[in-house]
């Protein structure tokens, strides 16, 4: 275990001392991870490892005394698999909720928007799905010749990753779905199911920051996997009434909600979990599903997608323009970042790490400024974020995103109400107590 970097630690101590920081493990430890999501209707349609729990939104609403409100407007700037939006629609019997999500990844946008559209469709959707499934089954088993395009991503041509017969089956399912005579929503749901079989039909496993080759893994039969998933969807949709509330997911830039939502429509609650500054590149780890569904046709489109994401990873060289540098907060941001930048070891990762720290701070300041413009007077913003360790041995340092974001939020005219420490992360790596995941509540200052 390496010792925490003393100057960065004292910087974090001083920052934290300005705010109310509490141990929130009792309420939040199990809610900052996807506890319950794989067993809950609608949520279970695609398992997003980086999601928070289905129970997070109801818990936050209770804590902030929003529970009894009859109208509630919610925004999630990083919708991911749609946990916030599905949870919001599920509360329709208690309040009329209007929920908006923004998501940049085309595959995750497909997943989350399919879920929320299904929840608002009502029970006839189950019949439609059954009918479409039977047709796809028939087409899949027939000797119909579809045009089958193998995605250009080289991962698909690696036979160790994707055994050819299974790949053929996966591609045939997709071609049959595209050929069948289903409504747009039923087709999107079938495609969500098919895409959610890609990982299990291969020898690839999402493992933290990368897709790894798991030689020992026995890939599953795509058709059986697909059928099981469709059965789940039919089960979930047949029991449900059309939600009285409304929700939608925008394919766009969550750092700049004002590009997508009307400034005059103020929100009561903004809740999100942004990508953490821990090098996870969502474009990379969900790439097989996105290529499979045809969201990228060539490497240029794939690279452009990476460039559109939050600057939380060094997988591409982002522009080195930082808006804070030309703002009145330049000095305050430099002061905030200096001790963290000073801890970056001078090795081959130095440039990428410095860009990540500056880029992440810049994106967060923009995000908080935009959010400030759409929050109602009595509204709250809650973010869930994890801090991360970078480097190794004596050169290891922690990026405390929870504190860094809290200070940036202050610069954007928010008040930090509470930093609730949900859980400590891998303490055996470093003795820094700042390696943790937190739930932070802000109110407009």
Footprint on this chain of ligand SAM (rule: CB under 6 A): 48, 50-52, 78, 80-81, 83, 102-105, 108, 253-255, 273-275, 282, 309-310
Q: What does the alpha-carbon distance between residue 410 and residue 416 come to, in Å, rounded to a whole number?
A: 7
> CB 177 → ligand SAM: shortest distance, Å?
24
| Phi, psi angle pair for 416, to nearest 5° | -85, 110
Q: How many CB atoms lie within 10 A of CB 275?
A: 24
> CB 443 → ligand SAM: shortest distance, Å?
21
Quick one: 254 or 379, whose CB is closer to ligand SAM?
254
The pair of structure tokens assigned to 70 is 């009859």
Quick one: 78 or 133, whose CB is closer to ligand SAM?
78
Quick one: 219 or 359, whose CB is closer to ligand SAM?
359
Quick one: 28 or 140, whose CB is closer to ligand SAM?
28
> CB 340 → ligand SAM: shortest distance, Å?
21
Q: What does the alpha-carbon distance between residue 101 and residue 97 come to, in Å, rounded to a whole number?
A: 13
> CB 91 → ligand SAM: shortest distance, Å?
16
The pair of structure tokens assigned to 3 is 């010792």
> CB 407 → ligand SAM: shortest distance, Å?
21
Q: Could you tell me if 381 and 414 are in contact, meaning their C-beta atoms sit under 8 angstroms apart?
A: yes
> CB 362 → ligand SAM: shortest distance, Å?
12
Quick one: 55 or 221, whose CB is closer to ligand SAM?
55
Quick one: 80 or 222, whose CB is closer to ligand SAM?
80
Q: Could you tell me if 359 and 322 are in contact, meaning their C-beta atoms sit under 8 angstroms apart?
A: yes
Quick one: 275 or 391, whose CB is closer to ligand SAM?
275
Closest CA to 166 of 215, 199, 213, 212: 199
Q: How far, CA to CA in Å, does 332 sit from each of 124, 349, 371, 409? A: 56, 26, 20, 12
> CB 350 → ligand SAM: shortest distance, Å?
24
Quick one: 9 or 253, whose CB is closer to ligand SAM?
253
Tokens 């129970």 correspond to 55
Name the residue with the smallest CB distance to ligand SAM: 80
The pair of structure tokens assigned to 180 is 């069948």
The C-alpha torsion from 321 through 326 and 328 to 331, rounded to 10°, is 70
> CB 28 → ligand SAM: shortest distance, Å?
14
Q: How far, CA to CA in Å, does 354 sit from each of 63, 318, 427? A: 37, 12, 24
Q: What does the alpha-carbon distance between residue 87 and residue 48 come to, in Å, rounded to a whole number?
A: 15
Quick one: 282 or 368, whose CB is closer to ligand SAM?
282
> CB 108 → ligand SAM: shortest distance, Å?
5
3-state percent helix, strand, coil for the chain, nearest multiple of 5: 45, 15, 40
The pair of structure tokens assigned to 178 is 């595209």
Evaluate the CA torsion angle 391, 28, 420, 92 in order and state its sign.
positive
Quick one: 78 or 360, whose CB is closer to ligand SAM?
78
> CB 381 → ligand SAM: shortest distance, Å?
14
Give Dmax over CA atoms of the chain in angstroms. Answer: 69
> CB 288 → ligand SAM: shortest distance, Å?
15
Quick one: 285 or 333, whose CB is closer to ligand SAM?
285
Residue 246: strand pairing partners: 98
Q: Could you tell me if 160 and 219 are in contact, meaning their C-beta atoms sit under 8 angstroms apart?
A: no
The pair of structure tokens assigned to 297 is 């046709």
The DSSP secondary-structure symbol of 157 reads: G
């Amino acid at each position: 275990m390496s010792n925490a970097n003393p100057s960065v630690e004292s910087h974090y101590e001083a920052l934290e001392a300005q705010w109310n920081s509490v141990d929130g493990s009792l309420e939040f430890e199990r809610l900052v991870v996807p506890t319950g999501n794989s067993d809950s209707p609608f949520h279970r349609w695609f398992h997003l490892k980086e999601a928070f729990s289905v129970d997070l939104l109801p818990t936050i609403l209770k804590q902030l005394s929003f529970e009894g409100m009859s109208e509630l407007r919610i925004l999630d700037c990083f919708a991911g698999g749609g946990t916030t939006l599905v949870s919001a629609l599920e509360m329709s019997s208690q309040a009329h909720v209007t929920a908006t999500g923004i998501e940049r990844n085309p595959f995750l946008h497909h997943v989350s928007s399919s879920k929320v559209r299904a929840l608002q469709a009502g029970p006839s959707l189950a019949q439609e799905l059954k009918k479409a499934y039977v047709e796809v089954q028939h087409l899949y088993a027939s000797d119909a010749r579809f045009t089958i395009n193998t995605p250009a991503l080289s991962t698909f041509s690696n036979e160790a990753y994707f055994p050819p017969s299974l790949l053929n089956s996966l591609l045939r399912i997709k071609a049959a779905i595209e050929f069948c005579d289903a409504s747009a929503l039923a087709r999107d749901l079938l495609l969500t199911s098919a895409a959610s079989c890609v990982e299990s039909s291969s020898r690839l496993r999402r493992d933290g920051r990368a897709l790894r080759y798991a030689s020992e893994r026995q890939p599953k039969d795509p058709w059986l996997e697909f059928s099981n998933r469709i059965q789940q969807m039919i089960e979930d949709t047949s029991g449900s009434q059309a939600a009285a509330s409304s929700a939608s997911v925008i394919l766009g830039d969550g750092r700049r909600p004002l590009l997508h939502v009307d400034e005059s429509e103020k929100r009561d609650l903004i809740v999100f979990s942004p990508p953490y500054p821990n090098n996870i590149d969502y474009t990379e780890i969900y790439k097989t599903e996105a290529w499979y569904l045809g969201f990228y046709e060539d490497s240029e489109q794939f690279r452009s997608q990476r460039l559109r994401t939050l600057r939380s990873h060094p997988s591409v060289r982002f522009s080195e323009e930082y808006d804070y540098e030309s703002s009145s907060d330049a000095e305050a941001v430099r002061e905030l970042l200096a001790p963290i930048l000073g801890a970056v070891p001078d090795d081959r990762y130095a440039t990428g790490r410095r860009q990540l720290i500056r880029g992440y701070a810049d994106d967060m300041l923009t995000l908080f400024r935009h959010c400030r413009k759409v929050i109602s007077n009595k509204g709250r913003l809650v973010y869930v974020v994890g801090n991360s360790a970078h480097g190794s041995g004596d050169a290891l340092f922690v990026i405390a995103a929870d504190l860094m974001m809290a200070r940036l939020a202050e610069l954007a005219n928010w008040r930090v109400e509470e930093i609730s420490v949900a859980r400590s992360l891998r303490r055996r790596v470093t003795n820094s107590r700042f390696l943790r995941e937190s739930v932070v509540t802000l109110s407009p200052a």
